[in-house]
Amino acid sequence: MAAIHPSLALIAAAGLGAAAPIPMAAAAPGTAAAACPAEPALPPELAGWARISSNKTIYAYGDARADEWLVLGPVRTGLSLHRFESLRYWVAPERTPDVHKFGGMVPIEVKKAGRLVVALDAGAWIDVVRDGKIVKSATHGHGPACSGIRKMVEFDVTPGRYLLQIVNAPAQSIRAMAVLRVRTH
């Protein structure tokens, strides 16, 4: 079984109730695959990872302003991605895009101030953008052991519309989820 990272994350989507500590695995997924149960138990705050949805991603920023784009939320969502040459990111990504990899953009709507947690099932660079500026990440880590969550990145956010920019994904699709941990003080 993978070692447990000493830091803990608290994650709660609006309406899911009180947040509980979530141990973050330090080892890369797949290293303990034989020891993982067929259906691993997820903490309540990550329960949306067990549900599956699908969505398309935006490949040109002008499209990102359209209200008809479905937002990424607290459900594991399969996102179709695009080749680098067809992408026009809103803001130049902090990581240089690899022409042999994939990316895309999807909006995120934040209703309350808090910590936005973006979870991915594969390695990829992500930027969260608001008002034409990249939001600095607060912390990075892996999901709970055996969860299928390869990467988790957290951002301090205020209410508004954000754009998740996915860069250098290894395949034409990726599963992602965005949950909000609301500040309680």
H-type alpha helices, the chain = 61-64
What distance in Å separates the CA atoms of residue 17 and residue 154, rounded to the nearest whole number? 19
The CATH number of whichever domain residue 127 belongs to comes to: 2.60.120.380
User: Which residues constitute the domain of residue 177?
Assistant: 4-35+44-182
Q: Which residue has the higher pLDDT, 81 or 23?
A: 81
What pLDDT was estimated at residue 84?
87
What distance in Å separates the CA atoms of residue 161 and residue 129, rounded to the nearest whole number? 9
Would the pTM count as exceeding 0.95? no
* Tens digit of each residue's pLDDT (9 = 90 or more) over 40-59: 777 777 788 888 888 878 76
* Tens digit of each residue's pLDDT (9 = 90 or more) over 127-143: 999 999 999 999 999 98
What distance in Å separates the CA atoms of residue 105 and residue 93, rounded to the nearest whole number? 11
What's the total number of domains in the chain?
A: 1
What distance in Å separates the CA atoms of residue 52 and residue 76, rounded to the nearest whole number? 5
Task: Sort strands 76-80 and 151-157 into parallel, antiparallel or unpaired.
Answer: unpaired
